Chain A
Amino acid sequence: MGRIQEMFGELKGKRAALITYFTAFYPDEEQSYRIAIAMLECGSDALEIGIPFSDPILDGKVIQQTSSIALERGATLGKVLRLCERIRERTEKPLLLMGYCNPIYRYGTERFASDARECGVDGILIPDLPIDEIEPWRSALSSKGINTVTFCSVNANPLRIRKACDLSTGFIYCLSLLGTTGVRDELSKDVFQLVRMVKSCSTKPVVVGIGISNAQQCEAVGEVADGVVVGSALMQVVMRGGDYLSELKAKVRSFAEALARR
């Protein structure tokens, strides 16, 4: 059993997992390492580590900007993997990589899978890889013990949802809304319906992400899902600069507390 399965197993019936996103190499390599450690210390159950890409079509302004600055700071897939390795030395919690197809394709899917494995990565989310195209990637990753997360969106038909559930080797990531990543005031109602649908198709863990921005939203989603992903809301804090680390820690703590309030 992998770290992802262990984590969800331990939390089952207790509370939803808090998965926090950060863009690797933003604002630079060292600071992103410190961000990772801070997140882990303040109640994050797993990290989603963004591999910067020049053309992130599912991302809103915040992650577009953090990605482009990260690239200016010299981020490459190889260096991001080494960053994961350093984080792995400090934690046994699951590490998930989030990245677009092309850098991974270019690196070589097989080579990526084995290097990711060696660096202590547990799973991968590829937002521009729909389930119709997932097979060769999934088997390459599985052969090295890396879990592939599949996505479900609120406009998917039941057949597609079932397929996504079957193909996932980690958890199922429900996209809370039709749109890009970014901070939102309101949670869409559709996502609750979607989580119910997915749960009726599968016993695999179900996670919700995109647009989740505050503790209240975390709590609401935590009622129905096995995990919550927070990204842009945290990156926004880092972007504001100054003593962002203490504000970031406070935010992560407040999300963790909201999820524990069940």
Chain B
Amino acid sequence: MEEDLNPSNGISRKAEALLSVPDRAGYFGEYGGRFVPEPLIPALEELEDAFIEAFSDSSFREELTNVLKRYAGRPTPLYLAKNASEILGGARIYLKREDLCHTGSHKVNNTVGQCLLARRMEKERVIAETGAGQHGVACATAAALTGLRCEVYMGEIDMERQSVNVSKMRLLGAKVVPVSSGSRTLKDAVNEAFRDWVTNLKTTHYCLGSAVGPHPFPMIVRSLQSVIGEETIRQCMELEERLPDMIVACVGGGSNSIGMFYPFIGRGPRLIGVEAGGIGIEPGMHSSTLRSGEVGIFHGMKSYVLQNPDGQICTTHSVSAGLDYPGVGPEHAYLKREGLAHYTSVRDEDALSAALFLSRVEGIIPALESAHALAWAFSQAEKMEKDEYIVVCLSGRGDKDLEIIERHYPGLGGECLGDG
């Protein structure tokens, strides 16, 4: 089994190059880097050094593995969605059950790691941004566990549409700070978190929630989320004795997807990232950054950005708050450019109907973010052969989305299956 995990085994040359990214300046090819005000540079350097030092310390890695196992519930199952697969009548669909992680999403993999690191760096406080509230809850949880004070920035609009998570964060002892600037959603929460961080560098670690931002964040988040893909490889070999034909994950900032993709890059499976297609292709109607954005500099990184012709950042739309972001991690920009992964999008409506379908036939209520990946996988499974199989990263559970789902399907009873 260990041999299968060895990345130098049967890896393509193109993918091999990936093992050396990011480079020392934090670049994945031409994407990434560090576009932040000067005062943040020493903090990013401190973080990078601390991360490298901690990860080369086996006792730190052991502690992290232990927490993930005994506290966060890893490894998460790889589940064959038999009913769904049979109904669709094509490739089999497996679900990597990140929804079963403590706090209900993959976000905890990252926050536990970063909070342990923050404690090791002798910080007393962590701050975070959150959209859906999943990262905020995961961060508040990890902060409670590690004894750190926690403040979470959240756009006013998101606080409204994800109010249960606001209550959870408060119960966990975190302070939730409403963000009223700009579009009052995730991007503005990130701005506020950066402004807090630049003011409180000595005491505070910024626990960034996705594979975005200035170096070393994309690298740190990838390292902490790669456990998803590593477990999946092992489980695929156990269950199917070969790697999958296709892997599908939703892409907001890109953390669950990079965590799932990274160990698979260049090893055969087609990697598909699914962005939020929202309600249309016009600017402001979607969050499909890699599909419709252009290269720019935003939140400390050079990557694809949804922007207007004058370089101002666009507002976005998605039914899922967690995908509602106008930027994307630089490593995804690189994978797209190198043809190592492919990116597509799914509209609100199709994500909602995939969520309904999975709930009805498998008894699993997915997060609307994850439902984007499901919808794409369902549409592909039908076209694929029965002996092929797909793995979908089910990044989170849908409790937080019940209100939105109910609003979309009023009078939800026991009868219909939707059109999924």
> Which B residues are CB-close (under 8 A) to A157?
42
Given A58-B198, A103-B310, 4 other A-B contacts at CB below 8 A?
A: A107-B310, A155-B42, A155-B201, A175-B39
Contact string against B for A residues 142-154, beta-carbon threshold 8 Å, 1 for contact and 0 otherwise: 0000000001111
A55-B198 contact in complex given A102-B298, A130-B34, A132-B25, C-beta closer than 8 Å: no
- Contact-residue bracket for chain B: 35 or more
Q: Are B37 and A130 in contact (CB under 8 A)?
A: yes
How many whole Å from A126's CB to the nearest CB in chain B?
A: 9
Q: In the complex, are the beta carbons of B33 and A133 less than 8 A apart?
A: yes
B41 pairs with A130, CB closer than 8 A: yes
- Measured between C-beta atoms, what is the minimum distance from A186 to chain B in Å? 14
**Nearest CB in chain B to that of A131: its residue:** B38
Chain A residues closer than 8 Å to B298, beta-carbon distance: 55, 102
Question: How many angstroms from the CA of A164 to the CA of B297 in the assembled complex?
Answer: 21
Q: Which residue of B lies closest to A129 (CB)?
A: B35
Q: Residue A28 at the B interface, CB < 8 A?
A: no
Contact of A55 among B182, B200, B310 (CB under 8 A): B182
CA distance A157 to B45 in the complex (A): 12
Q: Say yes or no: is A64 at the interface (Cβ < 8 Å to chain B).
A: yes
- Alpha-carbon distance between A160 and B298 when the two chains are bound, in angstroms: 24
Within 8 Å by CB of B297, from A78, A128, A156, lies: A128
> Which one of A76, A77, A151 lies within 8 Å of B38 (CB-CB)?
A151
Contact, CB under 8 Å: A102 / B38: no
| CB-based closest 6 A-B pairs | A106-B311, A103-B311, A153-B39, A101-B297, A179-B199, A151-B38
Interface pair A103/B35, CB less than 8 Å apart: no
> Contact mask A31-54 → B, CB, 8 Å, 1/0?
000000000000000000000011
Contact between A180 and B198, CB atoms less than 8 A apart:
yes
Q: Which residue of A lies closest to B294 (CB)?
A: A106
Q: Are A77 and B41 in contact (CB under 8 A)?
A: no
B181 at interface by CB-CB < 8 Å: yes
Please name the residue on chain A nearest to B42 by beta carbon. A155
| B191 partner residues in chain A, CB cutoff 8 A | 55-57
Q: Report the separation of the CA atoms of residues A55 and B307 in the bound assembly, to the nearest whole angstrom.
A: 11
A178 contacts chain B at the CB level, 8 A cutoff: yes
Q: Is B41's CB under 8 angstroms from A160's CB?
A: yes
Set of chain B residues within 8 Å of A180, measured between Cβ atoms: 195, 198-199
A237 at the interface (CB under 8 A from B): no
* A68 CA / B194 CA spacing, docked (Å): 18
What residues on A are CB-neighbors of B187 within 8 Å? 55
Q: Chain A residues with Cβ under 8 A from B33's Cβ?
A: 133
Interface residues of B in 27-46 (CB under 8 A from A): 33-43
A156-B42 in contact (CB<8A):
yes
Return A26 CB to nearest CB of chain B, in Å. Answer: 15
The 14 sampled A-B contact pairs (Cβ below 8 Å) are A54-B312, A55-B298, A57-B299, A60-B195, A76-B310, A104-B311, A105-B296, A106-B311, A127-B37, A129-B35, A160-B41, A175-B37, A175-B38, A178-B39
CB of B368 closer than 8 Å to a CB of A: no
Contact B305 A130 (CB under 8 A): no
**Inter-chain contacts of B305 with A (CB < 8 A):** 102
